[in-house]
Structure 1
Amino acid sequence: MARFDLTGYDLAELKGLQFEIEQEIKRRARDERERARARIHALAADAGIPLDALIAKAVPRYRNPADSGQTWTGRGRQPRWIAEALACGRSLDEFKI
């Protein structure tokens, strides 16, 4: 990777460069996700398989006893009601469905 001499830039210019770099990184990541999504759609279509058939839906494993509409699969960030209950000393097993 090429090295750049940044010593001639003042702080405001460096922050401007940082902002532009962050925006470019986000744009490229978004573009890569879109290209990957398009490839996946094309592969599924070529195979004659509906995309929904390839995506496994996560089944809820935990339910909030105070609000049965609130569930959690156990994946990703813990919902607030789980985090608060655990902080109060409750066990995750208490919420299993």
Structure 2
Amino acid sequence: MKKINLTAMSASELQALKSEIERELNQRSAKLQAIEEVKKLAASKGLKLDDLLAELGGDKSVKGKRELGPAPIRFRHPQNPSLTWSGRGKRPNWMRDALAAGLSEESMRI
């Protein structure tokens, strides 16, 4: 968190900052209170929040970004076998250098 130098601020700037902080704290408190009310209402109706979210289309497990697991190695440096690349993401420097030196991608493919 960025540290604010309060001693360098004028009294009016400090008052404005205090007002902003109080407004933010009130908004967060109201949000937490609303969430608790929704939880209590759902429980009183015999609903689970996960089921309610899925019904409303907000369930992250249903509409979330798919997780990519570790990618298999697809390319290996011809002279240094410890240098590998899965083919995902930015092409590594060793791969660029090898291509510039005249090697083909196919010759480095595993």
TM-score (norm 2): 0.44
Choose between structure 1 and 2: higher strand proportion.
1
Larger Rg: 2
Higher relative contact order (CA 8 A, sep 6+): 1
TM-score (norm 1): 0.49
